[in-house]
């Protein structure tokens, strides 16, 4: 693996060349530090390639007899579309049915970040998160639902501003048992209604 300093310098040179090809003046005040900012930004947005899920989780797996659905909803997602290098962003809802183990709640968003901080397509991102939770927890079931807006559709191409994309992956009980799967939608819809209630 290249050292971070070498990677950063390569990114800086790359964006300098791109800006010049686009006709920009690299000595213009607003662009003087742009190549370095771009390099640091790309390092952050692709940092998931260098993250180890087992290290992220650490000791945050706990024995627990519960076998009721656990749902973490509205996890913010920011990622880069690998086709155009434009952002897509939205929310993930993640559920699992424990099978003797539960995971510290903060670790689920961290797993989401590890996979979203890569060049992605939403379909793969959804599947990767679900499969990793299945590997780590060996639960009775895992469900991952992501709703996102894609700037590659909003800023260019079809230029549709109000469209969103929903993807889902259901594994184990959530795939095999329709009642379990419907419980997820009931929880998501029901909690949404509670949040919007004036009495909440």
Handedness of CA 57, 59, 65, 71 (dihedral sign): negative
Place 2 in a pLDDT band, splitting at 50, 70 and 90.
low
Give the global pTM.
0.90
User: Is the distance from CB of 143 to CB of 174 less than 8 angstroms?
Assistant: yes
> Shortest CA distance to 147 belongs to which of 85, 53, 73?
73
Q: What is the mean pLDDT of residues 29-35?
A: 97
Q: What is the mean pLDDT of the chain?
A: 92
For CATH 3.30.1130.10, the residue range(s) in the chain are 59-196
For CATH 1.10.286.10, the residue range(s) in the chain are 4-45
CATH 3.30.1130.10 given to domain 59-196: yes
Please give the pLDDT value at position 200.
Answer: 33
> Shortest CA distance to 90 belongs to which of 163, 171, 197, 159?
163
The residues assigned a catalytic role are 81-84, 122, 150, 152
Q: How far, in Å, CA of 14 to CA of 16, rounded?
A: 5
User: Is the distance from CB of 114 to CB of 50 less than 8 angstroms?
Assistant: no
Please give the pLDDT value at position 198.
Answer: 38
Range name among 79-83, 103-107, 189-193 with the lowest pLDDT average = 189-193
Beta-bridge partner residues of 72: 94
User: Is the distance from CB of 18 to CB of 46 less than 8 angstroms?
Assistant: no
Other CB atoms within 10 A of residue 169 CB: 21
- The CATH homologous superfamily for domain 4-45 is GTP cyclohydrolase I, N-terminal domain (1.10.286.10)
Q: How far, in Å, CA of 149 to CA of 127, rounded?
A: 18
């Amino acid at each position: 693996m290249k050292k971070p300093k070498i990677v950063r310098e390569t990114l800086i040179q790359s964006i300098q060349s791109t800006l010049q090809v686009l006709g920009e003046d690299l000595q213009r005040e607003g662009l003087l530090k742009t190549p370095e900012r771009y390099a640091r930004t790309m390092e952050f947005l692709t940092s998931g390639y260098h993250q180890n899920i087992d290290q992220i989780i650490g000791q945050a797996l706990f024995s627990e007899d519960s076998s009721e659905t656990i749902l973490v909803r509205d996890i913010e997602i920011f990622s880069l579309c690998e086709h155009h290098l434009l952002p897509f962003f939205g929310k993930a809802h993640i559920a699992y049915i424990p099978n003797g183990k539960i995971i510290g709640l903060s670790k689920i968003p961290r797993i989401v970040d590890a996979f979203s901080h890569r060049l992605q397509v939403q379909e793969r991102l959804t599947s990767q998160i679900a499969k990793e939770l299945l590997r780590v927890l060996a639960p009775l079931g895992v469900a991952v639902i992501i709703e996102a807006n894609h700037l590659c559709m909003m800023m260019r191409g079809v230029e549709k501003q109000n469209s969103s994309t929903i993807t889902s992956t259901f594994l184990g009980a959530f795939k095999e048992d329709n009642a379990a799967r419907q419980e997820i939608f009931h929880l998501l819809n029901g909690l949404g209604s509670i949040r919007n209630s004036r009495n909440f």
